[in-house]
Each structure stands twice: as C-alpha cells, then as structure tokens.
Amino acid sequence: QVQLVQSGGGLVQPGGSLRLSCAASGSIASISLMGWYRQAPGKQRELVAAFTSGSNTNYADSVKGRFTISRDNAKNTVYLQMNNLKPEDTAVYYCRLTYLSTGYWGQGTQVTVSS
C-alpha cells in the first residue's frame, strides 16, 4: 500500500519562505509523477508544481519564479521550496503521486501567509 506523509507548512509573514516535504512509502519503484496541489477556502484544488516526465516540471503561473519543486529519489521524497510567499498562497497544500495509473494524496498541510 502506498502512503504519502507530508511535513512542513505553518504560519509565515509575507515575503517569507517555507519548505514542504512529502515522503512516499510502500511498494514504489518510482516517484517520477509526483507534485503539489493546493486548495484555498471556497476554491477548487489547483496544481502548484509537478514533475511531469523525466525531470520535466510544470508550475502554476502564479508561483513561477517563487516556488521550486525538487526530489530525492533515494528517499522517495519530493519537496516544495516556497519563497517570497504572498497572502494569496494561503491554502492547504497536498502532495500527489501517480503510480501505476493510480493517484495517491498526502494528508494535507496548512500554509498561512499573514502579517
């Protein structure tokens, strides 16, 4: 069984930084299709950043130049470095892994950007 465990997040002032982590466990041979989504109150869940194939990445326009997705294949872990955070980045962030045509979600972690 595949499990995704997230860590990181919290409260930060505008302009600050946070790093999220998502560790995958279970019978996994690859974390090549893994990414981050977020859901703000009253809004639909949206893609933030993801690995698409190989080392290719895809970012939402609103986070380009501020957020960076990275991974450690040896640890089956994906990271999201978030810099220059803005109040509109406030949301619950979820990691997602697509493996053998099945999608798995992390438990979600709150990120609040406020002064």
What is the per-residue pLDDT across 3-51, written as a single tens digit (0 to 9) for each?
A: 999 999 999 999 999 999 999 998 777 777 899 999 999 999 999 999 9
CA–CA gap between residue 13 and residue 104 (Å, rounded): 31
Output the CA torsion sign for 41, 44, 47, 53: positive
* Most distant CA pair in the chain, distance: 43
What would the pLDDT profile of 46-96 be if each residue is shown by its tens digit? 999 999 887 899 999 999 999 999 999 899 999 999 999 999 999 999 999
Q: Work out whether strand 109-113 and strand 46-51 pair parallel, antiparallel, or are unpaired.
A: unpaired
